[in-house]
Amino acid sequence: MAPLILRRQLIDTALAMNSVGLNQGTAGNLSVRTENGFLVTPSALPYDRCRPADMVEMSLAGAVEGRKGRPSSEWRLHRDIYLARAEAGAILHAHPPWCTTLACLERSIPPFHYMVAVAGGDSIELAPYATFGTQELSDHVLNALAGGRSACLLAHHGMVCYAADLEAVLALAIEVETLARMYGQALQIGEPPLLSREQMSEVLERFSGYRQTSS
């Protein structure tokens, strides 16, 4: 069984996700990798009513382990990212206002600002629409995360990102929502000029150097 402290950390991060405005009500979901699979927030249970035992433990085969519970409807998306990205230690999916605004307009986030590279690429891509909880949606997300990207938007839906741990994934989600807000505000004035592929490559290289130094 997953450690109690990890279950509590999952609840605390889910509560923080709502308190900072990344999510509303019971929407969105959060997970963290465990030794044999992952813990994911339950379906349709408000985070302020969650107890550690309510966090659902799942295997990477998609089976609920230990104490039975109903996982988030997006458990497949979490499972598939863990299978595809060995570096993913935690995953956050939510409906932040600005990310969702762009997603509903079917817009990705282009390199209008160098900090777009914080998500691992020279853009934050848009996954095409598919019904929530489906394998089709999961497949679209994995394609949008290609090229080392760690975040993407989901058309007419929201956003998803992954990082090494719960603290890092919350920080990344906040950064992506901030970028979405700045881009959305810039679009109210006009289409912003974009950084070149060469300029973004230099930023990505510098970011990689910072991560290697701090690790």
Residue type, 215: S
**d(Cα 116, Cα 159) in Å, to the nearest integer?**
14
Provide φ and ψ at 21, rounded to 5°: 90, 15
HEC assignment per residue over 61-108: CCCEECCCCCECCCHHHHHHHHHHCCCCCEEEEECCHHHHHHHHCCCC
Q: Catalytic residue at 74?
A: yes
Helices 166-187, 4-19: inter-axial angle, 10-degree rounding: 20
Q: From start to end of the chain, where are the E strands?
A: 29-33, 37-40, 56-59, 64-65, 90-94, 126-127, 151-154, 158-163
Residue 103 and residue 159 in contact, taking contact as beta carbons nearer than 8 Å: yes
**Residue among 137, 124, 140, 120 at smallest CA distance from 207:** 120
- Out of 74, 167, 177, 191, which one is annotated catalytic? 74
H-run or E-run covering 213: helix 197-214
The pair of three-digit structure tokens given for residue 89, joined into one six-digit string? 């230690």
Residue type, 193: P
Any idea which residues carry the catalytic annotation?
74
